[in-house]
Amino acid sequence: MTENELINNLTLNENAYFYKKIKKGILSKNLIDTTFKEASSDKMGNYLLRVIKSKTKVNNKDVEYSICVFKYPKKPSFIDEELKDWEEVKLAYIVIVDFENYIAVSKRNISGTKELSKKIFPLDYNTISSLFIDEDTAFEKISMNNMNISDNAVRSKSVEAVDLKESISSLGLQTYIPSNLRVSNDDDKVSLSLGSSRINKFGKKSNIVFFISWSDNIIDKIENFKASENFLTSFATPLDFEKENSSLKPIAILLLLTKLYDEYEANRIESTKLIFEEYEKEIDVISILNNFSRLMEVKELVSDEGNSYFKILNPFVNDLSLSINPKSITLRSSKLKKLMIKLTDGTELSIIDFFNRTSSYIINFDRVELVYSHRKLFKDSRLLANTDAFLSVFKPSTDLNSVSSEKGSVLPTSTEFNAGSIFGFVEDKYLSSFKFFICDDLGKEWADHIGLDENNISFFHSKYKESKFSASAFQDIVGQAQKNLGNLSPADNQWEMKQKFWDRDYVLDKTTTQIHRIRKGSNSDDAIDYFKNLKAQPNLTKKVYLVINFISKLELTDGLQKLKNNETFKERNEVIQILWFISSLISSCNEVSAETYIICKP
């Protein structure tokens, strides 16, 4: 075939990545050539097709396009070492359509285009998310990421319906960031990947001329876009990072391992190793990173040279820090740079580069309503506005002023928990309200106490801490509650384990007591039968109680008011984190139709 015949033989979907140029103007031949060389660094043999800066006219506009197609070898994922004749041969392509201010890129099996990436940036979040939306648009599917800092919150979820704006509650959506959308306008369906600027219109494949024309129509929509209120306004509000970055002061960060897990599940990680000078050692990267899987404090420090920097406080790596750049926030650590990941496509990168590339972290700031997540800065505009609603879940009790421990001390003759303990407080205050009351503490617990009564399942989680406004203690108990929300409706295979556990007496610090785990009720068999019956009730009420001594409602109310007034005070950072944890807990409980109560000091 001739070159033109090869070009016309290409069939492309209406599916491309759209980027805006940092500086307007047509891309240089040298940049296109460099991009093709980067993209085809592992190619096999000659290019199958290579076209650079071919000129065409579409809709009376002069447009240039470039195409690169090549073969490359790939080691199959089911073998350990490369062997002769044991390789797959795959094809890859990249098409770049060059407009004055934008480019459209269609590609397959392409990874490295670093030089091109320096000249472009993704579409504005507000633009791409609303580009195909009007008052009649149906939202068929939304994948979303949670920007909450609780390590046990649901990190992401996907919902689907004929039209979500008519079938999903907007309650709690302000803590979620849409990542992918599928919308429908009459018979036209379009999916949007908001983080990567990919637009995919459902339809048949066509030739390069049609693809260029479609790309031009998308560019026109982008250039003529006007923002308007729509269903997506219910979600977290994106902000212009460049306008805000000079005022950002990070106070906490949560590293996310979900993207790394995804790579493992897709068999895209070949190996992980630690490199130190000429020394290499295969390691289990997951076991190392699990040490970083909870919220970590960020503190602003001053270097020996007099420059301020943001250090991430943790007991494992002493040089982990944040860098606030003009367009993004990135992680830095020379030690974690030595922890390497090798992907099945041959790419090698450090774990710190992996986190930065995937933006796998959530950052909180001293401006309480702001969050940095997935390379974007977002605002939960309702967070401070909802403080009165959040405070309504706090139920003060003067009896918590006198507690001095979580479980108290026990003896072999003990039949109940000490009156001065939180466990004793819970049983004294709530046991009489239930037909069955169970101590499920320790082991694979669902809660510290479980209360069962007519149409009511209640989980009680207790935490004692001597310090005031302990964000870490609150994180622990919120996490305990969140990870057990599914156990409000347990699976059938869990009952046998609980039957054996609830039959035993309570053991604390190797002391076997006479405290029966069935604190009220006949026996474990009857408790389980009652639990099973409750679970099937259509009007079942589910409740989650957090019982804590380290937060005073009055002092928390005062702290939240100071946040509203943007005042500086000693516990400001702790109150900010506690507010996010409260928001996360209430949102999680709402998703399983559970009521939330926090029993605290007055």
Residue 448: HSE in the Cβ half-sphere, 13 Å Cα cutoff: 24
Tens digit of each residue's pLDDT (9 = 90 or more) over 337-354: 989 888 877 778 899 999
Read off the pLDDT of residues 520-532 as tens digits, 9 standing for 90 and up.
998 999 999 999 9
Give per-residue pLDDT as tens, 228-269: 888 888 888 888 888 898 889 999 999 888 888 888 887 888
Task: Give me the amino acid identity at 321.
Answer: S
Rounded-to-integer distance, Cα 517 and Cα 416, Å: 10
Percent of the chain scoring above 70 in pLDDT: 100
Check pLDDT > 90 for residue 283: no
* 422 confidence band (pLDDT: 50, 70, 90): very high
Q: Extract the tokens encoding 384.
A: 């401070």
CA distance 589 to 587: 6
Average pLDDT of the segment spanning 136-157? 84
Do the Cβ atoms of 121 and 326 come closer than 8 Å?
A: no
pLDDT band at 173 (very low <50, low <70, confident <90, very high): confident
According to the model, what pLDDT value does residue 440 have?
94
Amino acid in the structure at residue 128:
I
Residue 463's pLDDT is 94
pLDDT at 42: 84
> What confidence tier does 472 reach under pLDDT thresholds 50, 70, 90?
confident
How confident is the model at residue 460, as a pLDDT? 97
What's the pLDDT score for residue 201?
92
285 pLDDT higher than 90: no
Q: Averaged over 284-312, what is the pLDDT?
A: 84
561, 496 in Cβ contact below 8 A? no
Asked whether residue 119 carries a pLDDT value surpassing 80, the answer given is yes
Q: Max CA-CA distance within the chain?
A: 93
Residue 545 predicted with pLDDT over 90:
yes
Query: Stretch 299-309: mean pLDDT, rounded?
Result: 81
Mean pLDDT within 475-491 = 91
The enclosing H or E element of 127 equals: helix 125-130
Which residue type sits at 189? K
Mean pLDDT for 468-494 is 89
pLDDT of 4 higher than 80: yes
pLDDT confidence of residue 240: 87
pLDDT of residue 153: 74
How far is Cα 226 from Cα 237, in angstroms, rounded to an integer?
16
Cα separation of 397 and 599, whole Å? 7
379: burial class by Cβ within 10 Å (0-12, 13-18, 19+)?
middle
Q: Per-residue pLDDT tens for 460-469?
A: 999 999 888 8
Contact (Cβ atoms closer than 8 angstroms) between residue 327 and residue 121: yes
Q: Where are the domains of the chain?
A: 3-121, 126-233, 242-379, 387-601
Query: What is the mean pLDDT of the segment spanning 551-563?
Result: 93
pLDDT of amino acid 434: 94
Q: Give yes or no for residue 423 having a pLDDT over 90.
A: yes
Band of the pLDDT at 124, cuts 50, 70, 90? confident
State which of 50-54, 111-115, 590-594 shows the largest mean pLDDT: 50-54
Per-residue pLDDT at 40 exceeds 80: yes
Q: Give the pLDDT score at 275.
A: 85
Q: How many CB atoms lie within 10 A of CB 67?
A: 22
Question: Which pLDDT score is estimated for 281?
Answer: 83
Residue 307 has pLDDT above 80, yes or no: no
Backbone angles phi, psi at 83, to 5 degrees: -130, 150
Sign of the alpha-carbon torsion through 568, 569, 572, 575: negative
Please tell me which residue, 229 or 37, carries the higher pLDDT value.
Answer: 37
pLDDT of residue 211: 94
Q: What percent of the chain has pLDDT over 90?
A: 44
Q: What is the pLDDT of residue 232?
A: 86
pLDDT band at 596 (very low <50, low <70, confident <90, very high): very high
**Residue 168 or 216, more confident:** 216
Per-residue confidence at 34, pLDDT binned at 50, 70, 90?
A: very high
* Two tokens, residue 403: 């507690």
- Round the average pLDDT of the chain to a whole number and report it: 89
Mean pLDDT value across residues 291-300: 86
Beta-carbon count within 10 A of 81 CB: 6
